[in-house]
Amino acid sequence: MLPKRVIGILTWREGERFEEPDYLRKLVQTGQELGAVVYLFSHQDVHVQDKKIKGFLPKPNGRWVSKWFPWPEVVIDRYRRRVREYIRLRNSDLFFFANSPFSKKWRVTKLLASDERVRRWIPETHVYAQGMVRSMLARHALVYVKPGNGTGGRSILRVEKRGKEYCLSGRDKKHAHHTARLDTAVGVEKWVKRWVEEQQIRDGNFLVQQGLELGLLRKHVVDVRLLIQKDECGEWSVTGCGVRIGENGSATSNLHGGGRAIPFEWFLSNRFGVEQAESIKSECYQLAYEVAKTLEDYFGRMMEFGLDIGVDVQGRAWLIEVNPKPGREVFRQMGDMQLYKMAIARPVQFALYLAKNQARFLSL
């Protein structure tokens, strides 16, 4: 009998506290069902001299048990915090990773905007600086100010010019809702400057991005969350997509901020008709494949991306954001448990594919 494949999942840990524990628990269990040894570990669990890892497995009571595990053949990186020890580990050659390190949102946006394969889908975006919001509002009636390394819809500010008035709304780091109405561009600059200073996340800069007319529903922000992943044969494949509808008056559609998810085809067909909805879906898929291949060219091997895609009132698709370590709750919220399970299984299936073919990849 062949020995089981060994897959490690690198993540942040403090004691028995893990980031995204529910998802990681399901990832380990899925790996076990696929016949592999799968465990969680963090930077402090690596014992190089003994070539062993202090790994963690979920217990039925919701807690975790630790034990010694053999060195992983492949490591899935789910670490979401850029701490020094993690960066040092990623820059070492200790492990064979399923996914390469990624970059900050601004660098990614700049790369995509300069690549002829994908730039037609990228809204105008600049690094925040004094005067930039005012300059962008002269060209666009709607702009967004957002952190270059944020996540979960936090600290994103919506700034809209309505006649002679400016309407601002956003959620802060703690998801509290803020609004303001101002009557001068100078007043807007001062308000935004204070927002950026208060909402700064670690060492990240802020971006100012062209707002899109995504009001497919009155008073709600609507966008598409698409998940594209490598499959068990190592090929890019769109797992699925759903429409996210933001809370009434919210600047984002994020599910953490009170948004809800509904099936893509149902919503788009009702809004644009079956034929145009099919065309929009086709464009979203094309966008996803081109973005995945382009980013892999720049950063090296990747295994999945969550894409936030805006569909404007004319039915044109725009890339809002790319996440290399995405969630998959959109499928559960839609009630599509088959897609949800596939979205969890695919990272492990791809890691197993890499483990079986590791010699070939290491020789490239």
Residues pairing with 311 in the sheet: 317
Q: Between residues 201 and 212, which one has the greater pLDDT?
A: 212
Residues pairing with 97 in the sheet: 75
- Judged against a pLDDT cut of 70, whether residue 201 lies above it is answered with no
CA 151 to CA 61: how far, in whole Å?
Answer: 30
Nearest-5° Cα angle at 173, 304 to 23 = 35
pTM of the model: 0.85
Q: Longest Cα pair distance anywhere in the chain, in angstroms?
A: 75
Which helix (DSSP H) or strand (DSSP E) does residue 334 occupy? helix 329-334
Q: Between residues 176 and 252, which one has the greater pLDDT?
A: 176
CA 149 to CA 125: how far, in whole Å?
Answer: 14
- Judged against a pLDDT cut of 70, whether residue 248 lies above it is answered with no
Cα–Cα distance list, 202 to 65, 148, 150, 198, 333 (Å) = 32, 11, 10, 11, 31
What is the Cα 110 distance to its own chain's centre? 17
- Judged against a pLDDT cut of 50, whether residue 23 lies above it is answered with yes
pLDDT digits (tens, 9 = 90+) for 149-173: 766 668 889 999 999 899 999 988 8
Q: pLDDT at position 229, please?
A: 98
Q: pLDDT at position 62, please?
A: 83
Q: pLDDT at position 252, please?
A: 47
pLDDT digits (tens, 9 = 90+) for 25-48: 999 999 999 999 999 999 999 999
Q: What whole-number percentage of the chain has pLDDT above 90?
A: 67
- Judged against a pLDDT cut of 60, whether residue 89 lies above it is answered with yes
Which among 306, 219, 223 is positioned nearest to 23, based on CA atoms?
A: 306
How is residue 285 written in tokens? 């898929």
Is residue 105 within 8 Å of residue 73, measured between CB atoms? no
Compute the mean pLDDT over every residue in the chain, rounded to the nearest whole number.
89
- Judged against a pLDDT cut of 50, whether residue 253 lies above it is answered with no
pLDDT digits (tens, 9 = 90+) for 96-132: 999 999 888 788 988 999 999 999 999 998 999 999 9
